[in-house]
A and B are shown apart, each in its own frame.
Chain A
Amino acid sequence: MNIAPKNVLPLALVALAAACSSPNQPIAEQGAPSEASAAEMVLMNRHDSLMAETSKLYEYKAKLSGYHTEAAAPYIHGLLAADAAMMDWMHQYKAPDTTAAPAARVAYFRQQQEILAGVSRQYRATLDSAQRFTTEHPAAGDVPPASK
Protein backbone atom coordinates (compact mmCIF):
# COMPACT_ATOMS: atom_id res chain seq x y z
CA MET A 1 0.00 0.00 0.00
CA ASN A 2 1.35 3.39 -1.00
CA ILE A 3 0.75 6.30 1.29
CA ALA A 4 1.40 9.71 -0.14
CA PRO A 5 3.04 12.07 2.31
CA LYS A 6 0.18 14.56 1.95
CA ASN A 7 -2.17 11.91 3.32
CA VAL A 8 -0.12 11.31 6.44
CA LEU A 9 -1.48 14.21 8.46
CA PRO A 10 -5.17 13.27 8.09
CA LEU A 11 -4.29 9.66 8.91
CA ALA A 12 -2.32 10.73 11.93
CA LEU A 13 -5.20 12.91 13.12
CA VAL A 14 -7.65 10.04 12.79
CA ALA A 15 -5.28 7.81 14.74
CA LEU A 16 -4.84 10.60 17.28
CA ALA A 17 -8.58 10.94 17.81
CA ALA A 18 -8.90 7.18 18.20
CA ALA A 19 -5.98 6.98 20.58
CA CYS A 20 -7.06 9.91 22.73
CA SER A 21 -10.67 8.86 23.15
CA SER A 22 -11.46 6.19 25.66
CA PRO A 23 -13.89 3.36 24.95
CA ASN A 24 -17.28 4.01 26.43
CA GLN A 25 -19.54 1.10 25.76
CA PRO A 26 -23.22 1.75 26.16
CA ILE A 27 -25.02 -0.44 28.64
CA ALA A 28 -26.93 -2.06 25.80
CA GLU A 29 -23.72 -3.59 24.54
CA GLN A 30 -23.06 -5.15 27.90
CA GLY A 31 -26.51 -6.68 28.11
CA ALA A 32 -29.80 -5.16 29.17
CA PRO A 33 -29.86 -3.97 32.79
CA SER A 34 -31.75 -6.18 35.20
CA GLU A 35 -34.93 -4.93 36.86
CA ALA A 36 -32.95 -4.25 40.02
CA SER A 37 -30.22 -2.32 38.18
CA ALA A 38 -32.83 -0.30 36.33
CA ALA A 39 -34.58 0.54 39.62
CA GLU A 40 -31.24 1.54 41.13
CA MET A 41 -30.48 3.79 38.15
CA VAL A 42 -33.82 5.56 38.46
CA LEU A 43 -33.13 6.12 42.14
CA MET A 44 -29.62 7.46 41.53
CA ASN A 45 -30.83 9.81 38.81
CA ARG A 46 -33.39 11.26 41.18
CA HIS A 47 -30.74 11.56 43.87
CA ASP A 48 -28.34 13.37 41.54
CA SER A 49 -30.95 15.80 40.29
CA LEU A 50 -32.04 16.56 43.85
CA MET A 51 -28.44 17.14 44.91
CA ALA A 52 -28.07 19.63 42.09
CA GLU A 53 -31.08 21.45 43.56
CA THR A 54 -29.34 21.66 46.92
CA SER A 55 -27.23 24.52 45.58
CA LYS A 56 -30.46 26.44 45.05
CA LEU A 57 -31.48 25.78 48.66
CA TYR A 58 -28.28 27.40 49.80
CA GLU A 59 -28.59 30.29 47.36
CA TYR A 60 -32.04 31.08 48.76
CA LYS A 61 -30.84 30.58 52.31
CA ALA A 62 -28.03 33.09 51.74
CA LYS A 63 -30.44 35.52 50.16
CA LEU A 64 -33.04 35.19 52.92
CA SER A 65 -30.38 35.47 55.63
CA GLY A 66 -29.57 38.89 54.21
CA TYR A 67 -33.10 40.13 54.96
CA HIS A 68 -32.41 40.27 58.72
CA THR A 69 -36.11 39.98 59.44
CA GLU A 70 -38.16 37.51 61.47
CA ALA A 71 -40.50 37.12 58.50
CA ALA A 72 -37.80 35.26 56.58
CA ALA A 73 -37.04 32.84 59.42
CA PRO A 74 -39.71 30.20 58.61
CA TYR A 75 -38.52 30.05 55.01
CA ILE A 76 -34.91 29.55 56.06
CA HIS A 77 -36.07 26.88 58.49
CA GLY A 78 -37.99 25.16 55.68
CA LEU A 79 -34.96 25.15 53.40
CA LEU A 80 -32.75 23.72 56.13
CA ALA A 81 -35.33 21.05 56.95
CA ALA A 82 -35.44 19.97 53.30
CA ASP A 83 -31.64 19.85 53.18
CA ALA A 84 -31.56 17.82 56.41
CA ALA A 85 -34.11 15.38 55.00
CA MET A 86 -31.92 14.82 51.96
CA MET A 87 -28.78 14.28 54.02
CA ASP A 88 -30.65 11.95 56.37
CA TRP A 89 -31.74 9.89 53.39
CA MET A 90 -28.18 9.80 52.12
CA HIS A 91 -26.72 8.67 55.41
CA GLN A 92 -29.27 5.90 55.95
CA TYR A 93 -29.09 4.62 52.36
CA LYS A 94 -27.36 1.27 52.09
CA ALA A 95 -27.52 -0.23 48.64
CA PRO A 96 -28.02 -3.98 48.90
CA ASP A 97 -25.18 -6.15 47.70
CA THR A 98 -25.50 -7.25 44.08
CA THR A 99 -25.46 -10.84 45.32
CA ALA A 100 -28.70 -10.26 47.26
CA ALA A 101 -31.90 -11.77 45.90
CA PRO A 102 -33.09 -9.71 42.90
CA ALA A 103 -36.60 -9.35 44.34
CA ALA A 104 -35.18 -8.01 47.60
CA ARG A 105 -33.02 -5.50 45.71
CA VAL A 106 -35.96 -4.30 43.64
CA ALA A 107 -38.11 -3.95 46.77
CA TYR A 108 -35.41 -1.93 48.53
CA PHE A 109 -34.84 0.45 45.63
CA ARG A 110 -38.59 1.02 45.21
CA GLN A 111 -38.99 1.70 48.91
CA GLN A 112 -36.12 4.20 48.76
CA GLN A 113 -37.65 5.75 45.68
CA GLU A 114 -40.80 6.51 47.68
CA ILE A 115 -38.81 8.10 50.49
CA LEU A 116 -36.83 10.18 48.02
CA ALA A 117 -40.04 11.24 46.28
CA GLY A 118 -41.14 12.67 49.63
CA VAL A 119 -37.85 14.56 49.95
CA SER A 120 -38.30 15.80 46.41
CA ARG A 121 -41.75 17.20 47.25
CA GLN A 122 -40.28 18.88 50.33
CA TYR A 123 -37.56 20.46 48.17
CA ARG A 124 -40.09 21.70 45.63
CA ALA A 125 -42.40 23.16 48.27
CA THR A 126 -39.69 24.98 50.20
CA LEU A 127 -37.98 26.29 47.08
CA ASP A 128 -41.29 27.53 45.70
CA SER A 129 -42.13 29.23 49.01
CA ALA A 130 -38.70 30.86 49.22
CA GLN A 131 -38.96 32.04 45.66
CA ARG A 132 -42.42 33.50 46.26
CA PHE A 133 -41.23 35.30 49.42
CA THR A 134 -38.21 36.82 47.71
CA THR A 135 -40.32 37.88 44.74
CA GLU A 136 -42.92 39.52 46.99
CA HIS A 137 -40.24 41.07 49.20
CA PRO A 138 -37.33 41.96 46.95
CA ALA A 139 -34.12 42.78 48.79
CA ALA A 140 -32.81 46.33 48.45
CA GLY A 141 -30.37 45.35 45.74
CA ASP A 142 -33.12 43.61 43.75
CA VAL A 143 -35.43 46.62 43.52
CA PRO A 144 -35.28 48.14 40.07
CA PRO A 145 -34.36 51.83 40.15
CA ALA A 146 -37.40 54.13 40.12
CA SER A 147 -37.99 55.72 36.75
CA LYS A 148 -37.80 59.53 36.70
Chain B
Amino acid sequence: MLKRLLLLPSLAAALLTTACTEAPKEAVKLPIMGERDVRPRADGGPADTVFATVPAFRLTDQFGQVLTNKSFAGRAYVADFFFATCPGICPKMQAEMLKVYKKFGQQQRLAFLSHTIDPAHDSIPVLRDYAERLGVGTARNWHFATTGAHGEPTARDTVFQLAQAYFTAALPDKQAPGGFAHNGTFALVDDQGHVRGLYDSLNPKEVDRLLVELPVLLAEIDSRKPGLARQ
Protein backbone atom coordinates (compact mmCIF):
# COMPACT_ATOMS: atom_id res chain seq x y z
CA MET B 1 0.00 0.00 0.00
CA LEU B 2 2.85 2.34 0.92
CA LYS B 3 4.50 1.63 -2.41
CA ARG B 4 1.28 2.47 -4.20
CA LEU B 5 1.00 5.73 -2.31
CA LEU B 6 4.59 6.60 -3.16
CA LEU B 7 3.78 6.07 -6.82
CA LEU B 8 0.85 8.46 -6.72
CA PRO B 9 2.80 11.73 -7.08
CA SER B 10 4.72 10.39 -10.07
CA LEU B 11 1.49 9.10 -11.60
CA ALA B 12 -0.10 12.50 -11.20
CA ALA B 13 3.01 14.17 -12.63
CA ALA B 14 3.00 11.80 -15.60
CA LEU B 15 -0.66 12.50 -16.23
CA LEU B 16 0.00 16.21 -16.05
CA THR B 17 2.90 16.07 -18.47
CA THR B 18 1.07 13.81 -20.88
CA ALA B 19 -2.11 15.86 -20.88
CA CYS B 20 -0.31 19.14 -21.46
CA THR B 21 2.29 18.09 -24.00
CA GLU B 22 1.53 14.78 -25.64
CA ALA B 23 -1.28 13.25 -27.61
CA PRO B 24 -3.52 10.99 -25.63
CA LYS B 25 -2.98 7.31 -26.28
CA GLU B 26 -6.57 6.64 -27.31
CA ALA B 27 -7.67 7.77 -30.77
CA VAL B 28 -9.43 10.96 -29.69
CA LYS B 29 -10.18 13.16 -32.67
CA LEU B 30 -11.09 16.80 -33.01
CA PRO B 31 -14.38 17.49 -34.78
CA ILE B 32 -14.39 18.61 -38.38
CA MET B 33 -16.09 21.99 -38.30
CA GLY B 34 -18.49 23.58 -40.72
CA GLU B 35 -21.00 22.50 -43.29
CA ARG B 36 -21.08 18.98 -44.65
CA ASP B 37 -22.78 17.47 -47.68
CA VAL B 38 -24.13 13.97 -47.70
CA ARG B 39 -23.89 12.68 -51.25
CA PRO B 40 -25.68 9.47 -52.17
CA ARG B 41 -23.58 7.03 -54.15
CA ALA B 42 -24.64 5.86 -57.58
CA ASP B 43 -23.94 2.26 -56.67
CA GLY B 44 -26.36 2.44 -53.75
CA GLY B 45 -23.60 2.07 -51.19
CA PRO B 46 -23.36 4.17 -48.03
CA ALA B 47 -23.56 7.90 -48.81
CA ASP B 48 -20.34 9.92 -48.84
CA THR B 49 -19.98 12.79 -46.38
CA VAL B 50 -18.09 15.73 -47.83
CA PHE B 51 -16.80 18.25 -45.30
CA ALA B 52 -16.15 21.95 -45.95
CA THR B 53 -12.55 22.90 -46.63
CA VAL B 54 -10.69 26.20 -46.80
CA PRO B 55 -10.83 27.55 -50.37
CA ALA B 56 -7.99 27.49 -52.86
CA PHE B 57 -5.43 30.22 -52.22
CA ARG B 58 -2.21 31.52 -53.68
CA LEU B 59 -0.01 33.61 -51.41
CA THR B 60 3.59 34.76 -51.22
CA ASP B 61 5.52 34.62 -47.97
CA GLN B 62 8.32 36.71 -46.46
CA PHE B 63 10.94 34.72 -48.38
CA GLY B 64 9.16 35.28 -51.71
CA GLN B 65 8.03 31.67 -51.71
CA VAL B 66 4.66 30.98 -53.34
CA LEU B 67 2.21 29.17 -51.07
CA THR B 68 -0.88 27.29 -52.16
CA ASN B 69 -3.03 24.75 -50.37
CA LYS B 70 -0.63 22.11 -51.70
CA SER B 71 2.22 23.70 -49.76
CA PHE B 72 0.53 22.40 -46.61
CA ALA B 73 -0.18 18.89 -47.86
CA GLY B 74 0.46 16.39 -45.11
CA ARG B 75 0.73 19.15 -42.50
CA ALA B 76 -1.62 20.95 -40.18
CA TYR B 77 -1.35 24.69 -39.83
CA VAL B 78 -2.49 27.46 -37.53
CA ALA B 79 -3.82 30.49 -39.44
CA ASP B 80 -4.43 34.05 -38.38
CA PHE B 81 -4.86 37.49 -39.95
CA PHE B 82 -2.81 40.52 -38.96
CA PHE B 83 -1.03 43.56 -40.38
CA ALA B 84 2.36 45.02 -39.63
CA THR B 85 1.29 48.51 -38.58
CA CYS B 86 -1.63 47.35 -36.43
CA PRO B 87 -1.45 49.12 -33.07
CA GLY B 88 -4.41 47.24 -31.58
CA ILE B 89 -4.88 43.54 -30.97
CA CYS B 90 -2.24 42.27 -33.44
CA PRO B 91 0.78 42.55 -31.09
CA LYS B 92 -1.03 40.53 -28.43
CA MET B 93 -2.36 38.06 -30.98
CA GLN B 94 1.10 37.47 -32.46
CA ALA B 95 2.61 37.15 -28.98
CA GLU B 96 0.13 34.32 -28.34
CA MET B 97 0.97 32.74 -31.70
CA LEU B 98 4.65 32.99 -30.73
CA LYS B 99 3.83 31.06 -27.56
CA VAL B 100 2.27 28.29 -29.64
CA TYR B 101 5.19 28.40 -32.06
CA LYS B 102 7.76 28.07 -29.27
CA LYS B 103 6.01 24.96 -28.04
CA PHE B 104 5.26 23.29 -31.37
CA GLY B 105 7.48 25.04 -33.92
CA GLN B 106 9.78 22.03 -34.21
CA GLN B 107 6.94 19.73 -35.29
CA GLN B 108 7.44 18.76 -38.91
CA ARG B 109 3.71 18.15 -39.34
CA LEU B 110 2.80 21.69 -38.39
CA ALA B 111 3.12 25.12 -39.97
CA PHE B 112 1.99 28.62 -39.11
CA LEU B 113 0.34 30.96 -41.60
CA SER B 114 -0.19 34.64 -40.80
CA HIS B 115 -2.00 36.52 -43.56
CA THR B 116 -1.57 40.27 -43.82
CA ILE B 117 -4.80 42.18 -44.40
CA ASP B 118 -2.78 45.23 -45.51
CA PRO B 119 -1.16 43.94 -48.69
CA ALA B 120 -0.61 47.44 -50.09
CA HIS B 121 1.71 48.31 -47.23
CA ASP B 122 3.01 44.91 -46.10
CA SER B 123 5.39 44.13 -48.93
CA ILE B 124 7.69 41.12 -48.78
CA PRO B 125 10.53 43.13 -47.16
CA VAL B 126 8.07 44.53 -44.60
CA LEU B 127 6.85 41.00 -43.80
CA ARG B 128 10.45 39.78 -43.49
CA ASP B 129 11.25 42.65 -41.16
CA TYR B 130 8.11 41.90 -39.14
CA ALA B 131 9.17 38.27 -38.73
CA GLU B 132 12.62 39.37 -37.64
CA ARG B 133 11.21 41.78 -35.08
CA LEU B 134 9.10 38.95 -33.73
CA GLY B 135 12.27 36.87 -33.34
CA VAL B 136 11.35 34.29 -35.98
CA GLY B 137 13.30 35.73 -38.89
CA THR B 138 14.86 32.39 -39.82
CA ALA B 139 11.79 30.22 -39.19
CA ARG B 140 10.88 28.45 -42.43
CA ASN B 141 7.59 27.06 -41.16
CA TRP B 142 6.00 30.31 -40.03
CA HIS B 143 4.83 32.06 -43.14
CA PHE B 144 3.91 35.74 -43.10
CA ALA B 145 2.02 35.88 -46.34
CA THR B 146 0.43 38.37 -48.69
CA THR B 147 -2.12 38.18 -51.48
CA GLY B 148 -0.51 41.22 -53.10
CA ALA B 149 3.16 40.44 -53.73
CA HIS B 150 2.87 41.74 -57.30
CA GLY B 151 0.71 44.77 -56.62
CA GLU B 152 -2.52 42.94 -57.43
CA PRO B 153 -5.29 45.58 -57.30
CA THR B 154 -7.73 43.14 -55.72
CA ALA B 155 -5.29 41.88 -53.08
CA ARG B 156 -7.24 43.34 -50.18
CA ASP B 157 -10.54 41.99 -51.50
CA THR B 158 -8.92 38.58 -51.86
CA VAL B 159 -7.61 38.40 -48.31
CA PHE B 160 -10.93 39.53 -46.82
CA GLN B 161 -12.75 36.90 -48.88
CA LEU B 162 -10.21 34.33 -47.70
CA ALA B 163 -10.69 35.32 -44.07
CA GLN B 164 -14.45 35.06 -44.41
CA ALA B 165 -14.06 31.69 -46.10
CA TYR B 166 -12.06 30.31 -43.15
CA PHE B 167 -14.95 31.20 -40.90
CA THR B 168 -17.65 29.90 -43.19
CA ALA B 169 -15.61 26.71 -43.65
CA ALA B 170 -15.72 26.37 -39.88
CA LEU B 171 -19.25 27.42 -39.03
CA PRO B 172 -22.59 27.05 -40.72
CA ASP B 173 -23.41 30.27 -42.56
CA LYS B 174 -26.08 31.40 -40.14
CA GLN B 175 -23.63 31.31 -37.25
CA ALA B 176 -20.70 32.91 -39.03
CA PRO B 177 -20.08 36.37 -37.64
CA GLY B 178 -18.19 38.98 -39.61
CA GLY B 179 -14.84 40.38 -38.72
CA PHE B 180 -12.81 37.20 -38.77
CA ALA B 181 -10.03 39.13 -40.46
CA HIS B 182 -9.42 41.16 -37.36
CA ASN B 183 -10.97 39.59 -34.32
CA GLY B 184 -7.92 37.70 -33.10
CA THR B 185 -9.14 34.22 -33.97
CA PHE B 186 -6.72 31.40 -34.69
CA ALA B 187 -7.94 28.67 -37.03
CA LEU B 188 -6.48 25.18 -36.77
CA VAL B 189 -6.54 23.51 -40.18
CA ASP B 190 -5.73 19.86 -40.76
CA ASP B 191 -3.64 18.26 -43.48
CA GLN B 192 -6.70 17.96 -45.72
CA GLY B 193 -7.86 21.56 -45.47
CA HIS B 194 -10.59 21.05 -42.89
CA VAL B 195 -10.94 23.56 -40.07
CA ARG B 196 -10.66 21.56 -36.84
CA GLY B 197 -10.77 24.35 -34.30
CA LEU B 198 -11.24 28.10 -33.79
CA TYR B 199 -9.58 29.81 -30.82
CA ASP B 200 -9.84 33.34 -29.50
CA SER B 201 -6.23 34.44 -29.15
CA LEU B 202 -7.21 37.17 -26.72
CA ASN B 203 -8.52 34.64 -24.22
CA PRO B 204 -5.73 32.73 -22.42
CA LYS B 205 -8.00 29.74 -21.80
CA GLU B 206 -8.67 29.46 -25.52
CA VAL B 207 -4.96 29.53 -26.32
CA ASP B 208 -4.46 26.84 -23.69
CA ARG B 209 -7.16 24.81 -25.41
CA LEU B 210 -5.23 25.11 -28.67
CA LEU B 211 -2.08 23.91 -26.90
CA VAL B 212 -3.98 20.86 -25.67
CA GLU B 213 -5.78 20.12 -28.94
CA LEU B 214 -2.82 20.56 -31.29
CA PRO B 215 -1.12 17.29 -30.25
CA VAL B 216 -4.43 15.50 -30.76
CA LEU B 217 -4.53 16.62 -34.38
CA LEU B 218 -0.83 15.88 -34.92
CA ALA B 219 -1.37 12.36 -33.60
CA GLU B 220 -4.25 11.90 -36.03
CA ILE B 221 -2.06 13.06 -38.92
CA ASP B 222 0.73 10.77 -37.79
CA SER B 223 -1.71 7.88 -37.81
CA ARG B 224 -2.35 8.18 -41.54
CA LYS B 225 -0.23 8.68 -44.60
CA PRO B 226 0.27 12.30 -45.66
CA GLY B 227 -2.95 13.50 -47.27
CA LEU B 228 -3.19 15.89 -50.16
CA ALA B 229 -4.69 19.24 -49.31
CA ARG B 230 -7.08 20.76 -51.77
CA GLN B 231 -5.48 22.93 -54.36
Q: Which residues of A contact B118 (CB under 8 A)?
A: 87, 90
Which bucket holds chain A's interface residue count?
20 to 34
Taken together as a complex, chains A and B put the C-alpha atoms of A65 and B126 apart, in Å, by 30
12 residue pairs from A and B, CB less than 8 Å apart: A8-B8, A8-B11, A12-B12, A12-B16, A15-B12, A21-B205, A51-B179, A54-B117, A55-B163, A58-B157, A83-B156, A93-B85
Q: Indicate if the CB atoms of A90 and B12 lie closer than 8 Å.
A: no
Which A residues touch B207, using CB under 8 A? 22
CB contact list, A1-32 vs B, under 8 A: 2-3, 5, 8, 11-12, 15-16, 19-22, 24
Task: State whether the Cβ of A136 lies closer than 8 Å to any Cβ in chain B.
Answer: no
Interface flag for A71 (CB, 8 Å): no
Interface pair B121/A93, CB less than 8 Å apart = no
Which residue of A11, A22, A24, A91 has the most chain B CB atoms within 10 A of its CB atom? A22
Given A16-B16, A24-B204, A5 contacting B8 (CB threshold 8 A): yes
Cα of A62 to Cα of B19 in the assembled complex, Å: 45
> What chain B residues lie within 8 Å of A51 (beta carbons)?
86, 88, 179, 181-182
CB pair A52–B179 under 8 Å, yes or no, is yes
Judge whether A11 and B164 touch: CB under 8 Å.
no
Q: Is A44 an interface residue (CB 8 A)?
A: yes
Inter-chain contact B204/A56, CB cutoff 8 Å: no
A38 to nearest B CB, angstroms?
A: 16
Contact B180 A55 (CB under 8 A): yes
A51 to B163, CA, bound (A): 13
Cβ of A142 within 8 Å of any chain B Cβ, yes or no, is no
Return chain B residues, CB-CB under 8 Å to A62: 157, 161
Say yes or no: is B200 at the interface (Cβ < 8 Å to chain A).
Answer: no
A52-B179, A55-B182, A59-B178 given; A12·B15 CB < 8 A: yes
Segment 30-72 of A: residues with Cβ below 8 Å from B? 44, 47-48, 51-56, 58-59, 61-62
Which B181-205 residues have C-beta < 8 A from chain A? 181-183, 204-205
Q: Is B50 an interface residue (CB 8 A)?
A: no
B208 within 8 A of A: yes
Q: Which of B's residues lie within 8 Å of A, judged by CB?
A: 4-5, 8, 11-12, 15-16, 19-20, 83, 85-89, 117-118, 120-121, 156-157, 160-161, 163-164, 178-183, 204-205, 207-208, 211-212
A103 within 8 A of B: no
Task: Please classify the interface of chain B as helix (H, G, I), strand (E, B), loop, or mixed, using the class held by over half of its residues.
Answer: helix
CB distance from B19 to the nearest CB of A (A): 5
Candidates A3, A44, A58; contact of B8 at CB < 8 Å: A3
Interchain CB contact under 8 A, A55 and B88: no
Interface flag for A101 (CB, 8 Å): no
Whether B164 lies near A59 (C-beta < 8 A) is yes
Whether A90 touches B87, Cβ cut-off 8 Å, given contacts A5-B8, A20-B20, is: yes
| A15 and B157 in contact, given A52-B183, A53-B179, A93-B87 (Cβ under 8 angstroms) | no
> Within 8 Å CB of B179, what residues of A?
51-56
Chain B residue with Cβ nearest A93 = B87
**Chain A window 84-96, contacts with chain B (Cβ cutoff 8 Å), 1 for yes, 0 for no:** 0001001101010
Q: Distance in Å from the Cβ of B143 to the closest Cβ of chain A?
A: 22
The residue in chain B whose Cβ has the minimal distance to the Cβ of A4 is B5
Given A48-B89, A90-B87, CB of A20 within 8 Å of CB of B15: no
Interface string of A119-146 (1 = CB under 8 A from B): 0000000000000000000000000000
Is A15 within 8 A of B163, CB to CB?
Answer: no
